[in-house]
């Protein structure tokens, strides 16, 4: 039996327009490189969302109108860095809540609970490891109101259809009155957006080429990494930033675990990621289309990013 990584690589590289699903960018090395991306000044998303979640904590808390105790469930919590200020504010104000960070990386969850127990001893934290689709179901059974966090513009990785079905899944697993705080990267000067993804340090290039290294290691392939480059393109009309790996020459790659060889033409592209940018109208539409009521859009002072509060 092939595992799903193998199956997905097979499907993507067999397609007429080659692609690889972006979720596979995050192995241990990829997650480390993504940390480097978040630390680049050009990658404005991190700072903008951090500003919102640290400067507007009181406003977020006041717009919840929850009885206590309540749950804060963070989907794809990672290192929890952005959420810290919000948690700190609530703990210092003696608000009674459970923090339930969810991530597929057990390492990330172990580290997060260790740091938070040290830095916020009063926090009630119940980390969960796994696929958040399964864990979301647990929310429906909880008798407490819940705030779901889906931050960092992770929604940007989903096509319109997939974003809608993901948000509908969230909706189905929420109770009436539950809230969702969801991060959207906003449309802005296209040059600013392009610079955040086409960095001159080559960090985003390393992030993408690491996927070929992962395929070499996990699926016994023979990609020659130097024969590939990185390119990305932003379309300011659709708001789609698309990332690609470029084959710098015509070449054939063997992937042992797939029992197959794949041909790459001169300058052929492998699409690796969609990072969709939204405007406030589209955010509004998306909330309506998926059954939510939009409470408020919380923007950073430069209006680069929105954490939007939706209610079921
Ligand atoms: C983690 C999906 C929000 O699309 O901006 C950063 C990933 N890719 N630079 C994004 C990413 C290239 C990031 N997300």
197, 211, 275, 304, best to mutate for ligand 1 pocket (most atoms within 8 Å of CB): 275
Residues 6+ apart with CB under 8 A from 121: none
Q: Residue 136: its pLDDT value, please? A: 80
Model confidence at 1: pLDDT above 60: no
Is 44 touching ligand 1 by the criterion CB < 6 Å?
Answer: no
CA distance 42 to 196: 5
Residues 249-269 have a mean pLDDT of 98
Residues 72-82 have a mean pLDDT of 86
10 — pLDDT class (breaks 50, 70, 90): very high
Model confidence at 125: pLDDT above 60: yes
Q: 110-114, 222-226, 258-262: which range is least confident on average?
A: 110-114
Q: Residue 76: its pLDDT value, please? A: 86
User: Using CA positions, which residue lies closest to atom 9 of ligand 1?
Assistant: 197
32, 34, 79, best to mutate for ligand 1 pocket (most atoms within 8 Å of CB): 34
Cβ atoms of 102 and 72 closer than 8 Å: no
Long-range contacts of 237-241 (CB under 8 A, 24+ apart): 239/187, 239/276, 239/277, 239/278, 239/279, 239/282, 240/274, 240/275, 240/276, 240/277, 241/193, 241/194, 241/197, 241/274, 241/275, 241/276, 241/277
Residues 6+ apart with CB under 8 A from 7: none
Bridge partners, residue 221, by sequence = 255
Q: Which atom of ligand 1 is nearest to the CA of 45?
A: 5
Residues 285-305 have a mean pLDDT of 97
Q: What is the DSSP letter of 288?
A: H
Helix, coil or strand: residue 57: helix
User: Using CA positions, which residue lies closest to atom 2 of ligand 1?
Assistant: 154
Model confidence at 137: pLDDT above 80: no
Model confidence at 173: pLDDT above 60: yes
At 13-64, the pLDDT tens digits run: 999 999 999 999 989 899 899 999 999 999 999 999 999 999 999 999 999 9
Model confidence at 104: pLDDT above 80: no
User: Cα(108) to centroid of ligand 1, in Å?
Assistant: 18
Instruction: Indicate the average pLDDT of the chain.
Output: 95
User: Cα(275) to centroid of ligand 1, in Å?
Assistant: 6
Q: Above 0.95 for ipTM, yes or no? A: yes
Is 70 touching ligand 1 by the criterion CB < 6 Å?
Answer: no
CA distance 146 to 135: 13
Cβ atoms of 298 and 55 closer than 8 Å: no
Q: Which atom of ligand 1 is nearest to the CA of 153?
A: 3
User: Using CA positions, which residue lies closest to atom 4 of ligand 1?
Assistant: 275
Cβ atoms of 267 and 306 closer than 8 Å: no
Q: Residue 129: its pLDDT value, please? A: 87
2 — pLDDT class (breaks 50, 70, 90): low
- Integer-rounded Cα radius of gyration of the chain: 20
């Amino acid at each position: 039996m092939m595992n799903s990584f193998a199956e997905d690589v097979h499907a993507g590289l067999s397609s007429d327009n080659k692609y690889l699903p972006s979720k596979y960018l995050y192995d241990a090395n990829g997650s480390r490189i993504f940390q480097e991306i978040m630390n680049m000044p050009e990658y404005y998303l991190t700072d903008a969302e951090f500003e919102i979640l640290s400067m507007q904590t009181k406003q977020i808390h006041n717009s919840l109108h929850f009885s206590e105790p309540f749950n804060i469930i963070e989907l794809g919590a990672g290192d929890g860095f952005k959420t810290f200020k919000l948690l700190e504010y609530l703990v210092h104000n003696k608000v009674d809540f459970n923090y339930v960070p969810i991530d597929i990386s057990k390492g990330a969850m172990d580290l997060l609970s260790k740091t938070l127990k040290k830095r916020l001893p009063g926090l009630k934290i119940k980390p969960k490891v796994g696929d958040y689709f399964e864990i979301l179901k647990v929310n429906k059974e909880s008798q407490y109101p819940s705030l779901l966090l889906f931050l960092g513009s992770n929604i940007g990785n989903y096509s319109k259809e997939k974003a809608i079905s993901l948000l509908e899944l969230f909706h189905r697993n929420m109770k009436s009155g539950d809230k969702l705080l969801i991060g959207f990267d906003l449309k802005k000067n296209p040059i600013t957006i392009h610079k955040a993804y086409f960095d001159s340090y080559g960090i985003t290039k390393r992030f993408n080429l690491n996927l070929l290294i992962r395929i070499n290691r996990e699926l016994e392939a023979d990609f020659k990494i130097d024969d590939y480059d990185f390119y990305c393109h932003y379309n300011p009309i659709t708001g789609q930033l698309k990332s690609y790996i470029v084959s710098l020459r015509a070449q054939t790659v063997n992937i042992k675990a797939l029992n197959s060889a794949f041909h790459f033409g001169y300058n052929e592209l492998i699409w690796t990621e969609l990072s969709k940018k939204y405007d406030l109208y589209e955010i509004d539409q998306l909330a309506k289309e998926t059954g939510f009521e939009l409470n408020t859009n919380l923007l950073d002072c430069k209006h680069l990013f929105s954490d939007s509060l939706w209610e079921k």
